[in-house]
Structure 1
Amino acid sequence: MKGPLFYSKILLFGEYGIIRDSKGLSIPYNFYNGALKVDANPSEEAIKSNQSLKRFLVYLEALQQPELVTFNLETLKEDLERGMYFDSSIPQGYGVGSSGALVAAIYDKYANNKITVLENLTREKLLQLKNIFSQMESFFHGKSSGLDPLNSYLSIPILINSKDNIEATGIPTQSANGKGAVFLLDSGIIGETAPMVNIFMENLKEEGFRKMLKSQFIKYTDACVENFLGGDVKSLFANTKKLSKVVLNNFKPMIPEQFHQVWQKGIDTNDYYLKLCGSGGGGYILGFTQDLERAKNSLKDYKLEVVYQF
């Protein structure tokens, strides 16, 4: 048995901000994927994944809500007894949606009366899916927006206008030989979402932090989303630079210490600008550059993965 593939995602803009109603833009990243599988001779990884899914099953039993979502738990239980696991190339703790793909796969296979990708996805249906996924993914993170699984499930770019206003969107076509690029920088450290979100929630209790979020962080995030979708590259880089500065000054705990200088160097040289990818604390860091070769040269000691070229 092997189920359909579900892809990783990248939240280009909106990490943390969307908790406070900023805009956001999430895109599928097909480089990594995962699928539900049963093997005759499971590996150690497969056995670990199967045990984790059994704990998830217990959580889903408590989540059964006829008005929201119900699952065919009998079949899921049988499949888990047969050793089903989530076979995934998506790195965990890297901010590219490993748990999101898993949640999407479970919903796709076991939800009753599921909303399918083929039907007319009205705003109501998108919000309903997001709500279901938010509750399912909370098992892994303590608090989830539901966006990662939504992106993985639909495999289309999603524009977040606000908490209650999301829509499928198109992004400007990639240019294979474009000089500008969005890339992933591997920090070499595994990040954990829950502790990072907790730090953010603690910071929100301070008025100064809330003020900064509204007047700077959300302002530049919203501008970046609009610039990116509108293909306004010049403004996009101007606003990404401002956003990069704000993050370095106000989200230091989310940036691994050995990258503080690398982050600053990008701002000083304009070779690249860095921002958080997901909740931070490790995993990938997202980079934006107007000149990919220059950025590669500047970051030659690090592993870069190009996500999007323009």
Structure 2
Amino acid sequence: MVYNAKILLFGEYTVIQGSPALAIPFSGFSGRWRTNRPAEAPDLLPFVQYLTGIDFLNETLDTAGLEDFLRSGGYFDSTIPTGYGAGSSGALVAAVYDRFAHSPIKPATPEELRAVRSILAAMESFFHGSSSGADPLVSYVNRPLLFRGNEVSFADIPGDTAAGEAFFLLDTGIARQTGPLVKRYLEGCRDEVYDRRIREQLLPAVTAAIRLMLSGGPGLFDAFKTVSRAQWALMPDMIPPACRALWAASLDATGWGIKLCGAGGGGFLLGMTRGIQPRELDTGPISILPFHPAGHKI
């Protein structure tokens, strides 16, 4: 069984103010269980101890079986980069739940999605101090999901993008921590003027982009560019310095744009083109990874 990475297409930060957020599994990076653990593989026994120490998780999971598997040479082999907001810990949590839960829920309804999400959130909190459960849920169900507050539902993304439109990731080469970036954003939102600008300029653009993404209707590229310009104006601290010139160049470009892909500060940036192919862009030392919004690399 393969557990894919996660990409947040739209909704970073604005989900805090009530906008929807749209996330997809991404097969370009993934993890799976293997045996014959190499020396450099991460030690997961402290994670097992954490799971064992929380009563409802210890009851939900076969923690003894997980520990035996790890001690006998089992390990989670992952290509998902850490510190990129791509769900590296989420994929691991999904894999543990899927293989070692006594009766893993296979969610088919929003209610079942919420139930699984709460379990996965408690599990992933070991790695981050707290977790929304979104990343492991995307990896576990391996389908696009739409989040709004505590609500979550399956999302259907059209199989074909509009003619001439394409998506890509930009690899900044920078690992970062999400927590400090979110803290900085929340502190900024204490300013009523800044909070109002987020709600009036960025939030409607994000909501429109998600609606167009799911409907397949015209105007997605223009909505993407609106999000890009708003993030440039409102979230400069989240844009890695090495990427600022490229982002600035995209603002006036008619055929391409870039935006944050998660918390920013490094990791991946999300790009979109219209009328040109992503690999035709000159992004200098920043590598391009084209992908289909349904979640697979091209």
Instruction: Please point out which of 45, 54, 62 is paired with 2:45.
Output: 54
Using structure 1 for the length normalisation, give the TM-score: 0.87
Secondary structure at the counterpart of residue 102 of structure 2:
coil
2:118 aligned residue? 131
1:245 aligned residue? 229
- How far has the Cα of 1:221 moved from its partner? 0.8
Is structure 2 residue 180 aligned with structure 1 residue 191? no
Which stretch shows the higher mean deviation, 150-159 or 70-79?
A: 70-79
Cα distance, 1:227–1:126 mapped onto 2, change above 3 Å: same
Q: Is the 8 A contact 1:241 1:267 kept in 2?
A: yes
Q: Distance in 1 between matches of 2:237 and 2:53?
A: 34
Q: Distance in 2 between matches of 1:21 and 1:301?
A: 36
Q: Is the 8 A contact 1:179 1:309 kept in 2?
A: no
Q: Distance in 1 between matches of 2:196 and 2:53?
A: 38
Q: Is the 8 A contact 2:6 2:87 kept in 1?
A: yes
Cα distance, 1:208–1:58 mapped onto 2, change above 3 Å: farther
Instruction: Please point out which of 22, 26, 29 is paired with 2:26.
Output: 29
Using structure 2 for the length normalisation, give the TM-score: 0.91
- How far has the Cα of 1:96 moved from its partner? 1.7
Q: Is the 8 A contact 2:94 2:140 kept in 1?
A: yes
Q: Distance in 2 between matches of 1:21 and 1:69?
A: 34
Is structure 2 residue 194 aligned with structure 1 residue 209? yes
1:44 aligned residue? 39
Q: Distance in 1 between matches of 2:23 and 2:177?
A: 20
2:72 aligned residue? 82
Q: Which amino acid aligns with 2:167?
A: V
Q: Which amino acid aligns with 2:177?
A: E
Regions of 4+ moved over 4 Å? none
Q: How many residues align?
A: 294
RMSD in angstroms over aligned alpha carbons? 2.2
Q: Which runs of 5+ in 1 are unaligned?
A: none
Q: Is the 8 A contact 2:279 2:288 kept in 1?
A: no
- How far has the Cα of 1:116 moved from its partner? 1.8
Q: Distance in 2 between matches of 1:145 and 1:18?
A: 12
1:149 aligned residue? 136
Q: Which runs of 5+ in 2 are unaligned?
A: none
Q: Is the 8 A contact 1:186 1:284 kept in 2?
A: yes
Q: Which amino acid aligns with 1:131?
A: S
**Percent of aligned pairs sharing the same letter:** 36
